[in-house]
Each structure stands twice: as C-alpha cells, then as structure tokens.
Structure 1
Amino acid sequence: MKKYAILCGSAPDGFTQKKINEMHDFLTSDFGGSWAEKEIVIFPNGVTEAMLSFVLERLRADKTEQIFLYICTLSPTADDESVWLGGEEIRKSVIEAFCADGCGQVVYDSCREMVREEVLENA
C-alpha cells in the first residue's frame, strides 16, 4: 500500500512544535504503523496553501492510497474557516477537499511548546 504522511506545524524558524515531533515518533513506531521516513514529510515552520495543494495533488496523481495530514497550529481552530501555519493562511475547505475520495485523513491539533531544531539534531 502506498501511504504518505504530511505533518504541518507553525513554529518559528529554528524550532519545531513538540507535538509535531511526537506525531513523527508515533508514526514511525510499531503502535503508529511503522511508517518509513521516506513516507513522511514535515513542514515545521508552515506551508503555503499553494504548496500544500500541489503536494496533495501530486500524491493523488501517484495513486497514493492513504494520506495522513496532521495540522498543528499555535491555538485551537475548531470554529475557524482557516488555519494559520507559519504566517500562512490555509482555508479548511482546501484541506478537507482532498478527503472527498476517502483516501485522506486530517487531524487538527494545537501546541505552543517549541523545541530548538539543533537539540533534535543532537539527539
């Protein structure tokens, strides 16, 4: 099965959100499905709506059977029509449109706890 995970955060440059790292660790664990590193991409400092749409469309064109999209903002967005990732606005309608065919799953989360990237490199 072709699967791909996209983890999108909203940390400032040089940092990642703690929950982004935890989600990555979970996905690569036995409990999370033992995803391979090549099946996961991380945008820790945000992503533009155009880039995210491009990646999702490319995965569809490659006939990816399972797409997991994890969106981690700085504050809850339950009632908002958009999310903000690294200063970029992404409409939820764009995010959720790719789930229409049933191959995608979106999880919204929030986290204000940051980890310096150099700490991660030395771990």
Structure 2
Amino acid sequence: MADLTYRRLQKAVTDLAKEVAKGSEAIRSAAQWIDEEAQDTARVSEAIGGMGVDPDTVSETSELSKIMRGVSEAAIAYASAGDNTTKAAKAAYDQAHTTHNGIQEAYSRAPVDMSNLNREWLRQE
C-alpha cells in the first residue's frame, strides 16, 4: 500500500463527501417520488371506495399507500444519515487541514529535495 500523504487524505475525504452527498440526494429524490406515488395510491383507494369496489380491494389499496409512505420515510431517514456522513467527512477534512496543512506548506516550500528523506529518521527522539 502506498504511503498516505496529506494530499491523498484531502482528496480521499473530499471525494467521499461528494459521493455520499450525491447518493443522499438521489435517495431523497427517490423518497419524494415514492411519497407522491403513495399519495396517488391513497387517492385511488378513496376513489374506488366511492365507486363501490369490493371492500377488500379498497382496504388493500389503502394498506399499500401506508406501506409506500413508510418506505418513503425510511428512505428519507437513510438520506439524513448520509447527510451526517457527509458532515463527518467534511469535519475530517477540516481536522486534517488544521493539523497538517502547515506541515504540508513547509514541505512544499522547502528548498531541499525531501522526497528521499527517511521518515524513520524524523521519528527518532
């Protein structure tokens, strides 16, 4: 495995936050669509009830609407969890920036080629 560098960490965390945010938005859109379909199904249930359709069919249609609303609510909760993950990834990015950016800047400005520097030497006390 390649060494984890500050820049790789920045990119990985940023990519993760973007990917999770995109997924959360897709889930939220699907949940809204399911909710709209649940509302339509509830209206159909009321309409067929008024038309004298057998009670079992009306009841099943109404139950389907309730199930669809439950699915929509669960999907929205799942998307909210994704939002929390995005926030955590951004917080990790901010923390990495706070703790390591100064080191990265000093490393980038160093007039000496430090690419072959033995990191174990730096860890010695």
TM interval, shorter chain, is: under 0.3
Whose helix fraction is larger, Structure 1's or Structure 2's? Answer: 2
Please report the TM-score for the alignment, with normalisation by the length of structure 1.
Answer: 0.20
Which is higher, the Rg of structure 1 or of structure 2?
Answer: 2
